A and B are shown apart, each in its own frame.
Chain A
């Protein structure tokens, strides 16, 4: 075994893989959040739909996204494998009385469970939108934006878009015309379903607790536990990844659900 595989298959090496892949997934959440904030824009989804085309066609982003899918799978399956191995390390006989709450938080002990919920969430989430967008049927919408006033008029587009063009732009008489796959409408329709909204909101609790422990834990694994930097890591782990990001994501389904009522 070479020193690289030997290092990565050691207990600390496996943790390193979990930490680095986990931090990459955290960085993705920031990108995902900042892009999806465009759902809140009052433009019938024009900015969001144009952004969706950019995210699915830009070669650099496409490359990174395949890396992202691979790292989600790596993080999930390495995590499940470690959880199984760690369970076996207790031995055949488990404690008759176990008082874990006396010495550790429940979510730090439930990372595998929370992670499994998140894996299920990712599968549901991707089949809801990503799969539909790429392989399913998403209707087109024609936007006419007045370049002087910024006003947007959206009308369903019934015609055929030639080739693989997902976005068709032309400018005439100070009006920008964009014909684009209307993912915004799929989001809007999808979140009329209260069960789906509930599932999304509950999953964001799982994100929160997974990251409150996971973010700081990743730095501990990288050997970064220092009184100079711990306040910043606590702020990012709890404030940003534990509270701000999950609330931001949870607001999206809630916004569309209450808007549809």
Chain B
């Protein structure tokens, strides 16, 4: 396959970026999108040019690093996958492909296609955990959990924090991410002691990071590689308003 790539190039956080055009030839349809980028980078290095910086790690769809906005959609044209799971057979020979970084005020571009997603880490650190005191772990069978709750919590916990929800949302809202993190604990007994505090702190941190607010367009869920449902956002709204009405924090 021969392709024309239009890729966002940006030297660092402070400089302005722009789209550069590259030609790649001899791409196998069985390559992943990232492998195609590896080929392009080899080519650029061979030409003595700066290779394109892009995030990648596991290359099997579970780390959430490969944050490419391809032809106007996060992770490209296929639903329910990350960029590393996108194969070149999803494109046609001679296609022009535009690749940009996630764009959000809360995710500043570090270089080329790499963005700083520490905002997500700070939201997690604000409350997205269960505090475990020392001592032996309790016998798992002594904490009964309804199958539906376990399934729902697991579906929320599938979130890999990739940021596609923010990238897809016209408001750059992080509601789907935060809702998944709040849901997975709110549904389980282990999450109960910190339940109200967690949602209050995580939403406050989310707002402080400068993400937009949710207008329920559903773009996040449609583009989520783990297909996290909008029902989690409804739960986040319930959890937040419930916590605000009943918590001890005045």
- Residues of A bordering B, CB below 8 Å: 2-3, 7, 10-16, 82, 85-100, 102-105, 108-109, 111, 213, 216-217, 220-226
A96 touches B212 (CB 8 A): no
| Residues of the A chain whose Cβ atoms lie less than 8 Å from the Cβ of B223 | 103
- Complex CA–CA separation, A93 to B211 (angstroms): 15
The answer to whether A95 touches B218, judged by C-beta atoms less than 8 angstroms apart, is no
Contact A90 B105 (CB under 8 A): yes
Cα distance A91–B211 when bound, in Å? 10
Q: Which residue of A lies closest to B236 (CB)?
A: A12
Contact among A96, A103, A217 with B98 in the assembled complex (CB-CB below 8 Å): A96
- 15 A-B Cβ contacts within 8 A? A11-B175, A82-B213, A82-B215, A86-B173, A86-B213, A91-B108, A94-B103, A96-B8, A96-B19, A102-B73, A103-B222, A104-B218, A111-B215, A222-B241, A223-B237
Asked if A11 meets B206 with Cβ closer than 8 Å, knowing A86-B171, A90-B104, A93-B17, the reply is yes
Contact of B238 with A by CB under 8 A: yes
Cβ contact within 8 Å between A14 and B213: yes
- Chain A nearest CB, measured from B75 CB (Å): 11
Q: How far apart are A235's CB and chain B's nearest CB, in angstroms?
A: 18
Cα A92 to Cα B109 in complex, Å, equals 11
Given contacts A91-B104, A95-B69, A95-B103, contact A100 B219 (CB under 8 A): yes
Q: How far is the CB of B138 from chain A (nearest CB, A)?
A: 31
- Identify which of A10, A87, A97, A222 contacts B207 (C-beta below 8 A): A10
- Complex interface: chain A residues within 8 A of B241 (CB): 7, 12, 16, 222-223
Interface members, chain B 216-250 (any A CB < 8 Å)? 216-219, 222-223, 230-231, 233-238, 240-241, 244, 249-250
**In whole angstroms, how far apart are the Cα atoms of A104 and B168 in the complex?**
10
**Contact of B72 with A by CB under 8 A:** yes
Q: How many residues of B contact A (CB 8 A)?
A: 54
Whether A97 lies near B215 (C-beta < 8 A) is no
Contact A221 B98 (CB under 8 A): no
The dominant DSSP class at the B interface is mixed
Inter-chain contacts of B212 with A (CB < 8 A): 11, 85-86, 88-90
Instruction: Please tell me if the beta carbons of A104 and B103 are within 8 angstroms of each other in the complex.
Output: no
How far does the Cβ of A216 sit from chain B's closest Cβ, in whole Å?
Answer: 8
How far apart are A95's CB and chain B's nearest CB, in angstroms? Answer: 6
CA distance A97 to B5 in the complex (A): 13
- Residues of chain A contacted by B160 (CB below 8 angstroms): none
B82 CB to nearest chain A CB (Å): 16
- Whether A220 lies near B173 (C-beta < 8 A) is no
Q: Do most interface residues of chain A lie in helix, strand or loop, or is the interface mixed?
A: helix
Task: Report the separation of the CA atoms of residues A150 and B243 in the bound assembly, to the nearest whole angstrom.
Answer: 60
| Least Cβ–Cβ distance between B182 and chain A, in angstroms | 11
Report the bound CA distance from A220 to B216 in whole Å. Answer: 8
User: Which residues from B are CB-within-8-Å of A98?
Assistant: 72
Assembled-state Cα–Cα distance A12/B200 (Å): 11
Query: CA A99 – CA B72 in complex, angstroms?
Result: 4
Cβ contact within 8 Å between B105 and A220: no
**Which residues from chain B contact A226 at a C-beta distance below 8 Å?**
231, 234
Is B172 at the interface (CB under 8 A from chain A)? yes
**Cβ-defined contact, B17 with A222, below 8 A:** no
Other contacts beyond A12-B213, A86-B171: 12, CB < 8 A: A11-B207, A16-B237, A85-B213, A86-B213, A90-B105, A90-B172, A91-B105, A93-B109, A96-B6, A96-B98, A104-B219, A108-B218
In whole angstroms, what is the CA distance A88 to B250 when docked?
Answer: 30
Rounded to whole Å, the gap between the CB of B39 and the closest CB of chain A is: 22
Q: A108–B104 contact, CB under 8 A?
A: no
Complex Cα distance A91/B108, Å? Answer: 8
User: Whole-angstrom distance from the CB of A84 to the nearest CB of chain B?
Assistant: 10
Smallest CB gap from A102: residue in B: B73
Please tell me if the beta carbons of A220 and B73 are within 8 angstroms of each other in the complex. no
Q: A11-B207, A95-B72, A220-B234 are in contact. Are A103 and B219 (CB under 8 A)?
A: yes
Query: A89-B105, A90-B103 are known contacts. Are A221 and B73 too (CB-CB below 8 A)?
Result: no
Query: Is the CB–CB distance between B213 and A109 below 8 Å?
Result: no
Chain B residue at minimal CB-CB distance from A224? B234
Decide if B71 touches A97 in the complex (CB within 8 Å). yes
Nearest-neighbour CB distance to chain B for A112, whole angstroms, equals 9
Q: Is B104's CB under 8 angstroms from A99's CB?
A: no
Query: Inside 8 A of A12's CB, which chain B residues have their CB?
Result: 203, 213-214, 236-237, 240-241
Q: Which of A15, A90, A95, A220 contacts B213 (CB 8 A)?
A: A15
Q: Is the Cβ of A223 less than 8 Å from the Cβ of B234?
A: yes
> Is B215 in contact with A108, judged by CB distance below 8 angstroms?
yes
CA distance A126 to B145 in the complex (A): 57
Given contacts A95-B100, A220-B216, contact A88 B105 (CB under 8 A): yes
| Chain B residues near A10 (CB-CB < 8 A) | 203-204, 207, 240
